[in-house]
Chains A and B, each alone.
Chain A
Amino acid sequence: MVNTHIRTENLNLWFSENHVLQDVNIPIYDKKITALIGPSGCGKSTLLRCFNRMNDLIPEAKIKGKVFLNEQNIYESRIDVTQVRTKVGMVFQRPNPFPKSIYNNIAYGLKIRGEKKSVINETVEKSLKDSWLWDEVKDRLNESALSLSGGQQQRLCVARALANNPDIILLDEPTSALDPQSTAKIEELCTELKNKVTILIVTHNIAQAGRISDYTAFMYLGDMVEFGETKKMFTVPKDKRTEAYLSGVFG
């Protein structure tokens, strides 16, 4: 039994005159990993950024359609964007820890909401444990986060998102800047985390989508071409374009 956690309804997005997303309808299922794949420029990262309203930062972006988070349209005018972004965490392509200490990176989301010191201490430890970073950093929480390796920094970013206790985590090509070992660790971590949160991952790497995702969405030129269970799609793609992409004809 799977529940829909987020779904879009005829979602359209323009950057100025450029129609980037065209009538996208996609369900994201609760406590599953959904992978968004497709060639560069197909709109997958843009779609991802619709789920926490990060496209609001781009002045020339225009959005039409609906995105339901727990059956609540997050593009309604009375919605508090900061609330949405607390519920929907995000990890970026390039590890982007703040130039602050490891501790303060994790504590950031809690501090801006004025949480108590005891709660923060507890959450920092828990988030670092959940992102498998605790043993590596527990003795140097006050050191700069920039002293960590790239893979560690990315797990720190996961921990920072987890500290907000989100329902959903969006990952925007989280391993494209990482070495194979760090990549494997992030992938394992995702599989572990799906017991607690819904995960939506944009990836350039078809094999990665095959390894970790339960559902896959294939996008091409702003269209949602195909969506379905990863196993099925990877063995018997319905659409010619999906088949071509998966077999490496273009990409």
Chain B
Amino acid sequence: MTKRELKQFLGVNALRFFIAVTAIFLILFLYVIISKGGKMISWSFLTESPKKYMTEGGIFPAIVGTFWLTIISIGISLPLGVFTAIYMVSYGKPAWFVRSVRIAINTLAGVPSIIYGLFGLTVFVQLMKLDVSILAGSLTLAILALPVMINASEEALRSVPQDFREASLALGATERQTILRVLLPTALPNILTGTIISIGRVAGETAPILFTAATFYTRRLPTSVMDEVMVLPYHIYALMTEGAHADKQVPIAYGTAVVLLALVLLVSTIAIIIRYNIRKKRKW
């Protein structure tokens, strides 16, 4: 073996080693969660309320809570994000203003999520008197999702070829018509991908809803956006830290983790499928 061949051999195998380590962590992670929680999963676990101080029963209220928080927060942040992105791409002037907005957005993206929780507590729960509720939690999560949403939308809009915009304007369309009829429809699939990534993020967050939406234990389902709710990530936290029957609570916590993991994986899979379909159709 020459020196060059030896170097090549060592290099390739070093890369193999690193990828193996990464893969082992992922596999180990899934194995731990699923081996500890997998056996909890049953139809009744998914559809029943917790019983006997969370030592028995299911997690249905937490699934419902996570569902509503996610839907409402995305419903708030999607239009906000898309409209902000449209402004920055199409009308954003002067350049220094757009730059400062972008710095603000990126700073917002770097803020630890517990700070969002404190902000939500101060502004939505106390100042706006929304109390601990689905609405307060959704607003907090919406702000958390906003940077991702704006960046994804902006990137999607910028990736629409300039040709399309010129073609539309040359046909006598106004800037507004061009945005609504050409830019947005063309960018929509990519905006959706960004949205789905945000869904995954929002569904798994604990800290922002700790003080704004989540409740420790309730058997009843929310009837309005002003109700407090159980949510999956906080439910795991509560099971692991509160209560007196660790032997019964811990398996339920891992079962909840499996459900949360499955939900996020499901959402990511949908994102991948959508992206795949877009790439297949793209020809420009």
Q: List residues of A whose CB falls within 8 A of some B CB.
A: 52, 54, 57, 82-83, 85-86, 89-90, 92, 94, 96-100, 108-109, 111-113, 144, 146, 157, 160-161, 164
Report which of B164, B173, B181, B284 forms a contact with A82, defined as CB distance below 8 A: B173
CB nearest neighbor in A for B178: A112
- What would 13 more interface pairs be, CB under 8 Å, given A57-B166, A92-B170? A54-B166, A82-B172, A83-B172, A96-B164, A97-B167, A98-B164, A109-B173, A111-B181, A112-B172, A112-B174, A161-B170, A164-B171, A164-B172
Name the distance in Å between B162's Cβ and chain A's nearest Cβ. 9
Q: Are B164 and A113 in contact (CB under 8 A)?
A: no
A to B CB contacts below 8 Å, 29 in the list: A54-B166, A57-B166, A82-B172, A82-B174, A86-B171, A90-B170, A92-B163, A92-B167, A92-B170, A96-B166, A96-B167, A98-B164, A98-B182, A99-B164, A99-B186, A99-B284, A108-B171, A108-B181, A111-B181, A112-B171, A112-B172, A112-B181, A144-B281, A146-B283, A146-B284, A160-B167, A160-B171, A161-B170, A164-B172
Known A-B contacts A99-B284, A146-B283, A146-B284; A109 and B171 likewise in contact (beta carbons under 8 Å)? yes
Q: List residues of B whose CB falls within 8 A of some A CB.
A: 161, 163-164, 166-174, 177, 181-182, 185-186, 281, 283-284
Instruction: Specify which chain A residues have a CB less than 8 angstroms from the CB of B172 in the assembled complex.
Output: 82-83, 85-86, 109, 112-113, 164
Q: Are B169 and A54 in contact (CB under 8 A)?
A: yes
Known A-B contacts A99-B186, A112-B177; A161 and B171 likewise in contact (beta carbons under 8 Å)? yes
CB nearest neighbor in A for B165: A57
Q: Are A94 and B174 in contact (CB under 8 A)?
A: no
Name the distance in Å between B93's Cβ and chain A's nearest Cβ. 9
Name the distance in Å between A80's Cβ and chain B's nearest Cβ. 9
Q: Are B163 and A94 in contact (CB under 8 A)?
A: yes
CB nearest neighbor in B for A161: B171
Report which of A83, A86, A92, A161 forms a contact with B166, defined as CB distance below 8 A: A92
The main secondary structure of chain B at its interface with chain A is helix
Instruction: Specify which chain B residues have a CB less than 8 angstroms from the CB of A109 in the assembled complex.
Output: 171-173
CB nearest neighbor in A for B93: A59
> In the docked arrangement, what's the CA distance between A149 and B167, Å?
18
CB nearest neighbor in A for B172: A86
The 10 closest A-B pairs by CB, nearest first: A86-B172, A96-B163, A90-B170, A109-B171, A85-B172, A82-B172, A146-B283, A96-B167, A112-B177, A112-B173
> In the docked arrangement, what's the CA distance between A90 and B173, Å?
13
CB nearest neighbor in B for A96: B163
Instruction: Specify which chain A residues have a CB less than 8 angstroms from the CB of B161 in the assembled complex.
Output: 96
CB nearest neighbor in A for B170: A90
> In the docked arrangement, what's the CA distance between A108 and B163, Å?
15
Name the distance in Å between A96's Cβ and chain B's nearest Cβ. 4
Name the distance in Å between A90's Cβ and chain B's nearest Cβ. 4
Q: Are A89 and B171 in contact (CB under 8 A)?
A: yes
Instruction: Specify which chain A residues have a CB less than 8 angstroms from the CB of B177 in the assembled complex.
Output: 112
CB nearest neighbor in B for A83: B172
Q: Are B167 and A157 in contact (CB under 8 A)?
A: yes
CB nearest neighbor in A for B186: A99
Q: Are A85 and B169 in contact (CB under 8 A)?
A: yes
